[in-house]
Structure 1
């Protein structure tokens, strides 16, 4: 019996080591399909970026990367599922800037930022401050001057309460010394539709969303929210250079894994994603979407997350935005 027990124990140990071996080395990774979750419905910018990257990796990998949409609660449902997933590199998630701000807005989340390992930044993009063509101000200075005369504030649409655009609006209010009248919508598309229709005058829109309508003169661009001007809109100033010094609010796209994912696997994933993003075809596709391709290490990605948390925590605290 003792000999049998020792044999069984040895067999269990051998099986455990065999199971753990792929986790300790990237040599055999991926040996099965890799799941890339997106916390939003299909069709949005983050879903588009995820599918572009997954398609390119699947061309060269022995196993496919499969995109799985799990929308709900501003991506927090999918993020909670990622935390509960095995830290083996086979379940990943594409996140955007709201990955950080969600942890500041929702006090009852089942996870914190420490529950995840940054893998690779893919791209970022500013917002474009766009207005209905009939809206009076044509530049940020005139907009701020008008806002200071409005007791109720100028109506400003966003994709929803606590969205990145909403928090970016709060930052603008705080830095410019004004108070816009926040109008939350259920998504960026209906908000932009109402700007084009003249029901509200202003929104922050992504370049992907707004550039076609700017070219058709259905929207007018007042400014962009990045440090540098947008190449697709070279004549449109940044908010920082046109009335709000130091203002910056970008949306970034990156891939994360559960905390504890083996460093070798994280490094392999980063190198592979970086290879794809640096390819001429992908650079062109991302640029067409109004995105700036990035090649940042996992450590640099973590530094960005840390700095974003500090920056937006102050904005959120001063604006008193909070959810249950």
Structure 2
């Protein structure tokens, strides 16, 4: 009996350690994102340039996704049950913004393709107005999987289903196996289309890189590395799309194991891809990096004065 109590206490302690360490990582990530967003609004050049606007959209969508996903993790950790209708409303955000990031990454890749392969038309095609239209298109395309998944719930569930109190997990809201298969098919098709676009852009930029010389060659190679990093981010995002299916399979086996797997998936496939965004545009981009340093120094200066 004492041994069982000791094991239960150890398990509870491990759950709390995982939970609070995750909250620490989430806080750091959101703080860095907030600093980058503040930097974005410091200069008119940033919010009138296509690649920085798309970068800001990705930062905001990543932050929103992380906040809502973290709320759902808190519900899971403390075993908080809510009504299904409220859970579905909350789940709209992760379902939508799960795909906003990969679609935005693809749009940023296409912007680099236009800048390097079609420099004379870059100002026209990537104007502020066209970028705003592009943001609407990004959210429109990203809403397709969300609408498809929610439609399967509305078609198959009865009215009494929405008044039940459940743990708020998308895996539990999808009642039928075919709903999970449809979700998987939509995500995989979307990923395939995005991959084709990124590979196309990479090949075109690589051809320009071979033909360029001097400063142009240096700039083109930097663009090529950026596209490669976008491709790596997209790969992590694709793995992230598989996380719910892994979670659902593990949930059928053991709830304790499910919590561990969900924690690891959250760290490696939710946090990690989004930590690359500050690296690509926050540190590798010289203009943004200098602006970021100025904002950080100004913040430290004000803090020291206080």
In the superposition, the TM-score normalised over structure 1's length comes to 0.25
> Counting strand residues as a fraction of each chain, which structure ranks higher?
1
> Counting helix residues as a fraction of each chain, which structure ranks higher?
2
